[in-house]
Amino acid sequence: MVACQEDDCHYLEGSKRCARRAAFIRSILQEIGLGGERLMLFHLPGTAAEDMALGSGRSVQALDAAALDPQVAAIRDQVIKTLWALPPSPLRTVPVPEADEDFHQEVELSDDDNEE
């Protein structure tokens, strides 16, 4: 997950809510045996400071996309490193039951719903 920096979120409390939700989901993943480390939360600069400056008529220093490149690259590297370190998903080790051929039910697909 990627959220705004806590002090620069357009939605004021959005980053805090995101962090709480991520912690909750991590606890669920841990509880069901998938591992909470499978959910990662990263923060990138938001636009709240720019929005407030524009709203008050002040000049705005635009967020330079090139300045974000090192941060995005660091997030990418951390995700790759974490993924390589994770054990295989326990969900992949559960055998898929064979489909029972008698389980399928035939359904008539005619357009004659209003016939008398």
pLDDT tens digits for range 3-28: 888 777 777 788 889 999 999 999 99
Asked whether residue 42 is domain-assigned, the answer is yes
Cα-Cα end-to-end distance for the chain: 56
What is the rounded CA–CA span in Å between residue 21 and residue 15? 10
Distance CA 27, CA 96 (A): 26
* H-only helix segments in 1-64: 14-31, 48-55
Q: Is residue 107 part of a domain?
A: no
Report if residue 24 sits inside a domain: yes
Give a yes or no: residue 101 inside a domain: no
Residue 97 lies in a domain: no
Q: Identify whether 116 is part of a domain.
A: no
Residue 98 located in a structural domain: no
pLDDT digits (tens, 9 = 90+) for 25-50: 999 999 998 899 999 999 887 676 66
Residue 26 lies in a domain: yes
- The single-letter DSSP state of residue 45 is -
Q: How far apart, in whole angstroms, are the C-alpha atoms of residue 36 and residue 30?
A: 5
Verdict on whether the full-model pTM lies above 0.75: no
Residues comprising the chain, all counted: 116
pLDDT confidence of residue 88: 85
Domain count, the chain: 1
CA distance 110 to 99: 27
The domain of 38 spans: 2-61+68-88
